[in-house]
Amino acid sequence: MKPQAPKRQPYGTLELGLLNVQDLHVAYGKVEVLHGVSLEVAEGEIVALLGSNGAGKTTTLRTLSGLVRLRQGRIVLGGEDITRLPAHKVVASGLGHVPEGRRIFGPLSVEENLRLGGYLLRHDLAEVEKRVHASYALFPRLAERRHQLAGTLSGGEQQMLAIARALMLEPRLLVLDEPSMGLAPKLVFAIFAIIQQIRAKGTSVLLVEQNARQALRIADRAYVLESGRIALSGPASALAADPRVRAAYLGG
Amino acid sequence: MQAFFQFTVEGLTIGGFYALVALGYTMVYGIIRLINFAHGDVFMVGAFIGWTVLVTLAGTHLPIVLALFVALATSLFFSGALGVVIDRVAYQPLLAAPRLSILITALGVSLALENGVLLIYGPGFLTYPHLLGTAGFTIGGVQISYAQTTMFVISLALMFALYLFVHRTFIGTAMRALAVDQDAARLMGIDVERIIQITFFVGSFLAAAAGMMEGLYYTQINFYMGFLLGLRAFTAAVLGGIGNIPGAMAGGLLIGLLESYGAGYISSRWTDVFVFLVLIGVLVVKPTGLFGERVVERM
């Protein structure tokens, strides 16, 4: 199966940005955890999704990727309705997902991890190799460790590998779930710099973060998720100045 | 000492069969954590398909080598397809269900295959055409038949091919990846259900190769032949560290050798006791098997 050109479908009367999420309802068993989440990401934007533990941030991202079935709602990426697509097809339509906890394939080598990121291009091995080398250019540390098992990398290197792997298909939207989790401050800074670089190359970013201060620093806009609902949204600078956000997420 | 080498030759031959079957157990366990009790019976079905083709071709004037090749190809392909059908019909619908449901289903599939073959071919032993002569060569008093050599070489070649497949191809890498983390594999664009089907095809394909070789080697086949062999091959997989491919290969050869030494030095009646004693001994010292590491990291 090759990644197909997305079927562009006219979407309602409004063509809003790259990603449009409308009224997402998701339940685990009988317990609904998302109660109508709507958000959007425009072309070239970095959008942060903030919220405390259990607010539904990861669930939101996993639903976008097709890993979690939704009960109700609509997800449109670049004009293509991806609401009911299985996860492996969502990837093909241009959404790259760096999951929480990195989820690299530990017993596989760094290079094998990267190649798997290009799995949908497997019928064009030259292209896969080209992109693997492009990853090495972006993350020189990975080039040094290409034959090492991914599980032996440090946390920061694993995060870089997870990002590089998700970039292999050159997604239009990169979704990152807690990329700074468990990293030393210096590395957090490096990861956020990389996210800005990725955006500069034309990939839009949807970022879930506990580290709200850093996230708001690089984001254009942000949403605050509380108990499965969007509680606040707006430009990142406005949210950073909002007393409610300052009290709850920026430590006063 | 001459006897020892003689037992070694015999042990490696049957060990090759065990290894081929053990691979199917270990690969399926590696990716969906299922002990596929029906796997031994796929081995048996492979032997029966091969027998049917050989007997049908016996009336024609096809050269023996060609007839063998056709029988082997037919058996391997259809057994592989059978594995895919079993996965699709019996296991895929239950992947999200509790582990016990799918385990019981595997037992059910095993019984269905045994009884299906019983129904078609009857309860008695069928005799494979005696195609393998006893011709061979002698090294230092140890007799090695050409048949044994050929089978051992075929077993090794299949294992080597599998190793290359798993380590050098995208599909094989995807298999190893989804053994580690299915969701992460989906995020790579890997169609997990499809890879599971391919795994079943490959595992069943290898089991059928063992089934046909066993039929040719011992010349007697029976609907029940998959049960004990399956048990021993599963033991081989556990011995090597279930989920670990090189482990299954080594485990299979080791079980074959143990069985042969046990039969040679002690008594063929005590073979299984000997084999399982060693298994228990190994598991007491190293619960994850000889090659096993942490439970989540394998293949």
Percent over 90 (pLDDT), chain B:
78
- For testing the chain B interface, which of A61, A100, A108 should be mutated: the one with the most B CBs within 10 Å? A108
Cα A15 to chain centroid, rounded: 22
CB B155 within 8 A of CB B16: yes
Among A2-6, A60-64, B258-262, B283-287, the range scoring the smallest mean pLDDT is A2-6
Does residue B229 register a pLDDT over 80? yes
Task: Supply the pLDDT for residue B227.
Answer: 93
B293 within a domain of the structure (yes/no): no
What Rg do the C-alpha atoms of chain B give, in angstroms? 19
CB atoms within 10 A of CB B282: 18
pTM score = 0.91
Total residue count of chain A as it appears in this document: 252
Q: List CB contacts (< 8 A) between B292 and chain A.
A: none
Task: Supply the pLDDT for residue B298.
Answer: 43
Task: Supply the pLDDT for residue A10.
Answer: 45
Mean pLDDT of B138-144: 88
Among A5-14, B231-240, B286-295, the range scoring the smallest mean pLDDT is A5-14
Quote the longest CA-to-CA distance of chain A: 53
Among chain B residues, CA nearest to A93: B189
Count: domains in chain B: 1
Would you place residue A11 in the very low, low, confident or very high pLDDT band (cuts 50, 70, 90)? very low
Q: Could you say which of B177, B188, B297 has the minimum Cβ distance to residue A91?
A: B188
Task: Supply the pLDDT for residue A8.
Answer: 46
Query: Structural domain of residue B248, as residue ranges?
Result: 2-285
* A23-82 pLDDT, tens digit each: 999 999 999 999 999 999 999 999 999 998 889 999 999 999 999 999 999 999 999 999
Percent over 70 (pLDDT), chain A:
93
**Contact assignment for A165 to B188 by CB distance below 8 Å:** yes
Would you place residue A17 in the very low, low, confident or very high pLDDT band (cuts 50, 70, 90)? confident
Percent over 90 (pLDDT), chain A:
87
* A157-197 pLDDT, tens digit each: 999 999 999 999 999 999 999 999 999 999 999 999 999 99
* B160-219 pLDDT, tens digit each: 999 999 999 999 999 999 999 999 999 999 999 999 999 999 999 999 999 999 999 999
Q: Residue B237: which of B222, B254, B252, B224 has the closest Cα?
A: B252
The CATH number covering residue B245 comes to: 1.10.3470
- DSSP E strand boundaries for B89-206: 126-127, 136-139, 142-145
Q: List CB contacts (< 8 A) between B180 and chain A.
A: 105-108
B230 within a domain of the structure (yes/no): yes
Distance separating alpha carbons of residues A204 and A188, to the nearest angstrom: 20
**Contact assignment for B181 to A105 by CB distance below 8 Å:** yes
Q: Could you say which of B174, B183, B190 has the minimum Cβ distance to residue A67?
A: B183
B292 within a domain of the structure (yes/no): no
Name residues whose C-beta falls within 8 Å of residue A37's C-beta, 6 or more positions apart in sequence.
A21, A23, A24, A56, A60, A73, A225, A228, A229, A230
Residue whose token pair is 């089978």: B151
Backbone angles phi, psi at A52, to 5 degrees: -80, 175
B87 within a domain of the structure (yes/no): yes
CA distance B188 to chain A (A): 5
* A135-148 pLDDT, tens digit each: 999 999 999 999 99
* B44-95 pLDDT, tens digit each: 999 999 999 999 998 888 888 899 999 999 999 999 999 999 999 999 999 9
Residue whose token pair is 């976008």: A64
* A46-61 pLDDT, tens digit each: 999 999 888 999 999 9
Of B286 and A133, more confident: A133
Cα B217 to chain centroid, rounded: 15
B26 within a domain of the structure (yes/no): yes
Mean pLDDT of B1-27: 95
Task: Supply the pLDDT for residue B293.
Answer: 64
**Contact assignment for A88 to B192 by CB distance below 8 Å:** yes
Mean pLDDT of A108-134: 97
Average pLDDT for chain B = 92
Among chain B residues, CA nearest to A91: B189
What residues in chain A have their Cβ under 8 A from chain B's Cβ atoms? 1, 3, 65-67, 86-89, 91-92, 97, 99, 103-108, 112, 115-117, 119-120, 122, 151, 165-166, 169
Task: Supply the pLDDT for residue A4.
Answer: 52
Would you place residue B270 in the very low, low, confident or very high pLDDT band (cuts 50, 70, 90)? confident
Does residue A199 register a pLDDT over 80? yes
Average pLDDT for chain A = 92
Q: Could you say which of A67, A106, A169 has the minimum Cβ distance to residue B186?
A: A67
B189 within a domain of the structure (yes/no): yes
B295 within a domain of the structure (yes/no): no
- If phi > 0 it is left, if psi is from -120 to 50 it is alpha, else beta; for residue A234 that is left
B291 within a domain of the structure (yes/no): no
> How many CB pairs below 8 Å do chains A and B form together?
74
Distance separating alpha carbons of residues A95 and B129, to the nearest angstrom: 58
CA distance A186 to chain B (A): 27
